[in-house]
């Protein structure tokens, strides 16, 4: 694109003249707009398409949906005269804030590049809100993991391995979600860099605004990276709790084995078919055998307790 052209549009131009919103599912309308404004939209597998008149980009964005999130792909083609957005289902919620800003600040409609910057700003603000929602969910999970670490729930019931596994699955989902948010931020920052390259070199104010936008995008990316590290830390905490839980289970079975093995050995002796067993003729032979069996069980238990293995 020729960077020496003047990008400010005529005063008579309205927002609807510059920003063309199209339902991405309406193939006939997409083809008409592409032919009218001489733009070629890239395939979903392509990130950027450039020609001598315009730049077209695929930008991914994570959208809140009920209790979950979905990834949407927004296609934006922009030139020095027009901005065309292909929006899923004919509506893209983050652009509602952009419309509100255009109404509050009509000066933002001075050029297609200024409109493009405002749209990217709205998407970045929405991304920041998504990261905040994930952060709040992780704060809630902090309490949940604290309960797991303590080993008992609010009712005093011992936390089981299945409870820990459920928490781990939830954390894995949060990690994947944040990873997708990071990927979306990368595509958003790429779009801002293309916008910066296309802006008229004399429009220093708009260039500075785009630089500020890039800094904001980097800040959101850093926040997402911080939340990603937090998820990894929580995952490690849960895995540690799971390992401790499993070690405790193994320890219990080991102690049970150590306590009952000597009495089992005593019972084995008296289960042998010897011809002569003097204890059978003793008056208190049965009592002595019971006491001997109890001592065989108690002595290992006392030894284990003395070593502190019961703690």
What is the average pLDDT value for the chain, to the nearest integer? 83
Strand-strand pairing, 55-65 and 48-50: antiparallel
Of 194, 234, 213, the residue nearest 83 (C-alpha): 194
DSSP-assigned letters across all residues of 86-145: EEGGG--THHHHHHHHHHH-GGGGSBHHHHHHHHHHHHHHHHHHHHHHHHHHHHHHHHHH
Q: What is the pLDDT of residues 2-54, one digit of tens each?
A: 333 334 444 456 888 899 999 888 889 989 988 888 887 876 656 678 877 78
Environment class of residue 213 by beta-carbon count within 10 Å: exposed (0-12), middle (13-18) or buried (19+)?
buried
pLDDT at 120: 95
Architecture, CATH, for domain 15-246: Up-down Bundle (1.20)
Q: With beta carbons less than 8 A apart as the criterion, state whether 246 and 157 touch.
A: no
CATH 1.20.58 segments of the chain: 15-246
- The pTM of the full predicted model, rounded to 2 decimals, is 0.74
Quote the pLDDT of residue 226. Answer: 94
Rounded to whole angstroms, how far apart are CA atoms 165 and 149? 13
pLDDT of 155 reads 66
Asked if pLDDT for residue 158 goes beyond 70, the answer is: no
Q: When comparing pLDDT for 210 and 139, which is higher?
A: 210
């Amino acid at each position: 694109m020729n960077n020496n052209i003047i990008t400010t549009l005529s005063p008579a131009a309205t927002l609807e003249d510059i920003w063309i919103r199209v339902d991405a599912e309406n193939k006939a309308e997409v083809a008409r707009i592409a032919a009218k404004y001489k733009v070629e939209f890239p395939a979903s597998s392509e990130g950027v398409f450039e020609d001598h008149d315009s730049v077209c980009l695929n930008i991914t964005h994570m959208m809140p949906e009920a209790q979950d999130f979905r990834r949407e792909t927004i296609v934006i083609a922009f030139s020095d005269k027009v901005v065309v957005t292909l929006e899923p289902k004919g509506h893209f919620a983050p652009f509602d804030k952009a419309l509100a800003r255009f109404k509050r600040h009509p000066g933002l409609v001075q050029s297609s590049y200024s409109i493009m910057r405002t749209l990217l700003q709205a998407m970045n603000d929405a991304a920041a809100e998504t990261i905040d929602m994930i952060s709040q969910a992780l704060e809630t999970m902090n309490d949940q993991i604290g309960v797991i670490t303590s080993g008992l729930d609010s009712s005093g019931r011992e936390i089981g391995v299945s409870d820990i596994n459920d928490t781990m699955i939830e954390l894995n989902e949060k990690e994947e979600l944040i990873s997708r948010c990071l990927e979306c931020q990368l595509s958003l920052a790429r779009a801002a860099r293309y916008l910066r390259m296309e802006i008229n070199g004399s429009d220093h104010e708009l260039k500075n605004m785009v630089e500020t936008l890039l800094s904001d995008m980097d800040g959101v990316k850093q926040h997402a990276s911080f939340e990603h590290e937090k998820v990894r830390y929580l995952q490690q905490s849960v895995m540690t709790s799971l390992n401790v839980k499993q070690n405790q289970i193994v320890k219990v079975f080991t102690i049970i084995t150590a306590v009952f093995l000597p009495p089992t050995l005593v019972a084995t002796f008296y289960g042998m078919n010897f011809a002569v067993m003097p204890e059978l003729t003793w008056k208190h032979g049965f009592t002595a055998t019971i006491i001997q069996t109890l001592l065989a069980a108690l002595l290992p238990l006392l030894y284990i307790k003395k070593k502190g293995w019961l703690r």
